[in-house]
Amino acid sequence: MAQPSEQQVWDWLDAVPDPEIPVISVVDLGIVRDVAWEGETLTVTVTPTYSGCPATSIISMDIETALRERGIRDIRIKTRISPAWTTDWLSDKGKMKLEEYGIAPPRPAGGPERCPRCGSKAVEKVSQFGSTPCKAHWRCTDCLEPFDYFKCI
């Protein structure tokens, strides 16, 4: 088969869901840093979110599986830790999908703008740590629902 273009590979990867937050893709999450052909080998460079995040190895496996299904045989997943992953790399599409899913997207101000369920701005932090390393636990004092906030890093 003809070698797929790098843009084509990016598009395929944009369909690979994050294992913990399946509404966003690994591309939305900003952890795919580079896609490059080196001869017959496709190198995908991945930057992990949190150093101990158990999803990281699953993500590498999911990327490899997705590309194999597209017929690419020779795949190398390269881990790059510097520059360190930052929530600034989340795509705008990803941020929007997070909020629709019920997770408040990260903001430089350090807290959610509003409750992702009812939209109220009356929110308070419960704990800086939440259901996964990348999230904090907040609650809305109007609708009283707890929610996750994707914390800035």
Q: How far is the CB of 128 from other proteins (least distance, A)?
A: 5
Tell me the C-alpha distance between 69 and 127, whole Å: 41
> Is the Cβ of residue 7 or residue 127 nearer to other proteins in the bound state?
127
Using CB under 8 A as the binding rule, whether residue 141 contacts other proteins is answered as no
> Is the Cβ of residue 84 or residue 144 nearer to other proteins in the bound state?
84
The pair of structure tokens assigned to 99 is 């909020």
Using CB under 8 A as the binding rule, whether residue 133 contacts other proteins is answered as yes
Tell me the C-alpha distance between 98 and 47, whole Å: 20
Work out the number of other CB atoms within 10 angstroms of the CB of residue 77: 17
Interface mask toward other proteins for 69-108; x: CB under 8 A: ------------xxxxxx----------------------
Residues making contact with other proteins (CB under 8 A):
50-54, 81-86, 126-131, 133, 137, 151, 153
